[in-house]
A and B are shown apart, each in its own frame.
Chain A
Amino acid sequence: VTDERRAPEGGPEAVAVRDPRERAIDVEVEAVGVEGEIAVVRGPASIREPLARAAPAIRSLGFSYVALELDVEVITQRNA
C-alpha cells in the first residue's frame, strides 16, 4: 500500500493517493476531506454496491469513510 501524502494544488485539504490493490480491490482511492478521512473512488453509480462490500477493507487502511464521486457528466448526459 502506498501512502504518499501530498498537498493539493490550490487548497489546504490533505490529499493522499493510496492503492489498496494489495487487498485485491482494483480501484484507485484518493484521500479527501479535512484530514484525508474519506476514501473517494471516482466512477459510475454501478460500482457503489461492490464498493460498499469492500468498504470495511478500505476503512481498515485508516479511512473513516468510503465514498463514490459520481461521473456527473455521464449522468447528466443520460438524463438529458
Chain B
Amino acid sequence: VDSVFLAVSALDDLGPDLVLAVTGRSASFADAQHRVALECVERFGIPHLEVDTHELDDPDYAANPSDRCYFCKRELWDRLDGVARARGLRTIVDGSNADDASDHRPGARAARERAVRSPLQEAGLTKAEIRLLSRARGLPTWDAPASPCLASRLPYGVAVTPDRLRQVERAEAELRRRGLRELRVRHHGTVARIEVAPAELDGAADRIGPAVPALRALGFERVVVDVEGYRRGALNEALVQIGTRGAA
C-alpha cells in the first residue's frame, strides 16, 4: 500500500527520469506481493529495478533476534545505495508512514544510519490517510491488507530459513484460496497458529477446517486458530511479556 503510493506520488511529482522504484527480492518476500509490485509498475509506468538481497545469509538476521528487521534493512539499503550511486540518484526513500513511528521498528535504525528518508512519515500521513489518497489516485492497492515480510510470522529466536518461509507462504496461499483475505500463519515450530482479521473471524472456521490437511502436508503437525484474531505485531506481545518477566 505505502510503497505503491509513494512510488506513484514520486512519479507524478518528479517524472520518470528522476524516479526509480526498486524491489528487493529474497525468500522472505512473498510471491503474491512480488506480483502486485510488478503489476503496479507496469500499469503506472514506474521505472523499476529488481535486486536480490541476501539477508538470509547473514547469521545475525537468520538467528531471528528481536531486531531482525535491522539486519534485513541494512542489507537492503546497502544494495540500494549501490544502485543509487551507479545511477546518480541522490536520495533513497522508503514507504514508512506516521503510524510506524509508534511501532516496534528496529529497521528504522538502519534507515537512519544510511540517511534513508521516509516522506510519508515526514508528512505525517497515517496508513488510513494513505489508503484514502490511494483510492482517490485510483491505486489498486488502496484496500490491500498490510503485508509485512514472511519472516514476521516466525517468533523471535526461531531461525529464519527458506524452508520455514516457504511453509508459511504456501499455508497462507492455501487459506486465501479458500476465501480468507487478511490473515497470518504464525510459525511455532511444528504448530501453525492462524490469525484471521477480526472482521473475518465469523465463519473462518468453515474455511480453515477443510484446509487443515493441506497445512499438515506442508509440515505442520498441528493447526490452531487464534481465538482473538489478527493483531498487528502479535509476536511482539510475547516480546513484551519476556521483557516484563525479565524486569520482575
Contacts and interface: CB of A to CB of B under 8 A. Distances in A.
Interface of A: 11-13, 32-34, 37-38, 40, 45, 48, 51-52, 55, 64-70, 72, 75-76, 79
Given A48-B201, A75-B209, A33 B191 contact: yes
Given A72-B209, A75-B210, A79-B210, A34 B189 contact: yes
A55 B231 CA distance: 14
Label chain B's interface by main secondary structure: mixed
B241 to A, nearest CB: 6
Nearest to A12: B189
A20 to B, nearest CB: 14
Contact of B188 (A33, A45, A79): A33
A75 B178 CA distance: 14
Interface residues of B, number: 29
A45 B209 CA distance: 9
Interface of B: 155, 157-158, 188-191, 193, 201, 205-206, 208-210, 212-213, 221-229, 234, 237-238, 241
A32 to B, nearest CB: 5
Query: In terms of DSSP, what is the predominant structure of the interface of chain A?
Result: mixed
Contacts, number: 85
A37 B210 contact: no
B225 A55 contact: no
A11 B190 contact: yes
Contacts of B201: 48
B227 A52 contact: yes
Given A55-B227, A67-B225, A67-B226, A45 B193 contact: no
A39 to B, nearest CB: 9
Contact of A68 (B189, B227, B238): B227
